[in-house]
Amino acid sequence: MSQKFDVVVIGAGPGGYVAAIKAAQLGLKTACIEKYQDKEGKLALGGTCLNVGCIPSKALLDSSWKFHEAHESFSVHGITTGGVSIDVPAMVGRKNTIVKNLTGGVSTLFKANGVTLLEGHGKLLAGKQVEVTDREGNTSIVEADNVILASGSRPIDIPPAPVDQNVIVDSTGALDFQAVPKRLGVIGAGVIGLELGSVWARLGAEVTVLEALEKFLPAADEAIAKEALKTLTKQGLKIKLGARVTGSDVQGEEVTVNYTDSEGEQKIVFDKLIVAVGRRPVTSDLLASDSGVDLDERGYIFVDDQCTTSVPGVYAIGDVVRGAMLAHKASEEGVMVAERIAGHKAQMNYDLIPSVIYTHPEIAWVGKTEQQLKGEGVAVNVGTFPFAASGRAMAANDTGGFVKVIADANTDRVLGVHVIGPSAAELVQQGAIGMEFGTSAEDLGMMVFSHPTLSEALHEAALAVNGGAIHVANRKKR
């Protein structure tokens, strides 16, 4: 006799496990299916984010930045160090410990909230039945009133650079180097490529980033992207735009990469090559032919604004549906769907999902760019404030970058907050909170910000929108 649940979630990543916990908290009998195994062959929850994405990459970013500071910046504080070195296996080991603690924490949360964990591969059949295949290949059927598909994404492979996880690696393999490569190539100047390239550049690798697009960070505000390119280049990343990889040849422990740019055909040799050209949804063997769930032209599961699929009672969230592939977007979709299943009128504001690149300085934004707004014919006022004028940033010796606030010229409503600089992710979140409640630049300017803080940069940028900044010269109104 098959098991019956109110909600069955396929996938225990940041979308799936959050959806399962929320559903259980709302009194729904809930099961979550996951098959991912760690290097020890044990079931590991948390999906890409906790295991091979957000969390491990941030652990390496923080470790590598501390090494960089000890090696390059401590002297300005009057701190003298000698013989600073990096133990890469120890650094990677610390990352693994953090991952293990967090993935184990999800299992504990499942138990605490009464979520039934089913180990195996989940596949949606007709009639909202779910087939679960365990490690030994045995199958069982669970029935559900509601199913949430949260199977996530995986790195995109490209024919010119086939991944062998030795010399040519994807984003997962790049987290486990046991030594600093002397010459490191990165295909793709997106979030993943820039973060991983930064990690190894700080530790001494000669990093070259090959990006097919002519424009750097096209999703970001142009002023932010320009500053980011200048800063990352100064840090040692050789970023080649308009460089389209056409082939690669691995010989022993090095790879020759062929690419074309404005000057014609080129080639370059690396000791390691990271392929970071994006991710694609995991829908293979997720849906039976008669499940009734439709895919769009790009292979994503088709959903509406409430993440409802073409089958009533079946939902899809996270990386398998439209929109940015972001863990926080997946999590909030999971909460929304669980609440809707429970009868609540939940919804998401897709216009205010923050984006962050955890380089140093951090790059983050929420809302629309100045270019988008002007393209839509919206008149705007813009205020900026440089961290070079921030007392807190000076004290921390971290003065690169600026805050940019964009407001509607007629209503003063804030339409975008863009930051490159220290704690950019945290400052943008402050902007997102205000924007969710329809804040104006004047509102932000009237609030009291504690001193000295980096947050004051947001305050001053908001004041600058209407020419009222105190600690920087205001732009003259045209």
Which residues belong to the active site? 451
Residue type at position 81:
T
34 with 352: CB under 8 angstroms? Answer: no
470 is in an annotated binding site: no
319 is in an annotated binding site: yes
* Sequence-ordered alpha helix ranges (H) in 26-79: 47-52, 54-72
Question: What is the Cα–Cα distance from 236 to 67, expressed in whole angstroms?
Answer: 15
Residues in Cβ contact with 86 at an 8 Å cutoff, skipping those fewer than 6 apart: 64, 67, 180, 203, 204
Question: What is the Cα–Cα distance from 122 to 288, expressed in whole angstroms?
Answer: 11
196 is in an annotated binding site: no
Residue type at position 296:
D
194 is in an annotated binding site: yes
327 is in an annotated binding site: yes
* Sequence-ordered alpha helix ranges (H) in 114-149: none
Pairing of strands 279-281, 314-316: unpaired
193 is in an annotated binding site: yes
201 is in an annotated binding site: no
358 with 415: CB under 8 angstroms? Answer: no
190 is in an annotated binding site: yes
283 with 301: CB under 8 angstroms? Answer: yes
Radius of gyration of the chain (CA): 24
Question: What is the Cα–Cα distance from 370 to 249, expressed in whole angstroms?
Answer: 43
Pairing of strands 139-149, 314-316: parallel
Residue type at position 445:
G
192 is in an annotated binding site: yes
Question: What is the Cα–Cα distance from 228 to 362, expressed in whole angstroms?
Answer: 9
78 is in an annotated binding site: no
Question: What is the Cα–Cα distance from 20 to 63, expressed in whole angstroms?
Answer: 33
How far is CA 18 from each of CA 21, 73, 123, 292, 411, rounded to the nearest angstrom?
5, 40, 20, 25, 37
Looking at residue 128, the DSSP 8-state letter turns out to be G
472 is in an annotated binding site: no
Task: Report the half-sphere exposure of 113 (CA within 13 A, side-chain side).
Answer: 24
Count other C-beta atoms under 10 Å from residue 434's C-beta: 21
325 is in an annotated binding site: yes
Count other C-beta atoms under 10 Å from residue 137's C-beta: 8
398 is in an annotated binding site: no
* Sequence-ordered alpha helix ranges (H) in 78-220: 88-113, 191-202
Question: What is the Cα–Cα distance from 370 to 367, expressed in whole angstroms?
Answer: 10
Residue numbers belonging to the annotated binding site for NAD(+): 188-195, 211, 278
Residue numbers belonging to the annotated binding site for FAD: 58, 122, 319, 325-328
Residue numbers belonging to the annotated binding site: 58, 122, 188-195, 211, 278, 319, 325-328
